[in-house]
Amino acid sequence: MSADVDALEFIKSRESGVLQSDLWKALKIDSRKCSRIVAKLMKENLITRQLESIDGIRTYRLCYADKSNSKRFKSLMPVLIFEPCAGCIEECEPEHCAKLSEWIFSIVIGKEGTITAEDQPDDYD
């Protein structure tokens, strides 16, 4: 594996991220090479970097940029299926829409933990 992949996997494995100063030590590479790897991963939007000060020493916390948790569409997908009104071309009244009612019902049941992805309908086109 390349150092880039090793670095990304190491960062992914730490839920709260990793300090850049700890990353190069863990991977047994020099700090300059680590900086180049971090710059490349940031350019590819795979990680984020936040300034941190540990005992007066400036370093950076590196976190994996999990794209599956995108906040942009979070309100449209509170469960594993997309909100049916997004892109809908039917001219119905929301109060009487079966697809919307099923979607809302799946949210309510899903929050109780009794519905799984297999139980959810997949006929929302």
Give the largest Cα separation in the chain, rounded: 63
Reduced to 3 states (helix: H, G, I; strand: E, B; else coil), residue 64 is: strand
Alpha-carbon span 77 to 44, nearest angstrom: 25
Q: Which residue do the tokens 């039917």 mark?
A: 90
Q: Which residue do the tokens 């941190």 mark?
A: 52
Predicted confidence (pLDDT) per residue in 20-78, tens digit: 999 999 999 999 999 999 999 999 999 999 999 888 889 899 999 876 655 555 555 55
Alpha-carbon span 12 to 6, nearest angstrom: 10
Reduced to 3 states (helix: H, G, I; strand: E, B; else coil), residue 119 is: helix
**pLDDT mean over 92-110:** 80
Reduced to 3 states (helix: H, G, I; strand: E, B; else coil), residue 54 is: strand
DSSP 67: G
Domains present along the chain, CATH in parentheses: 3-67 (1.10.10.10), 70-119 (no CATH)
pLDDT above 70 as % of the chain: 74
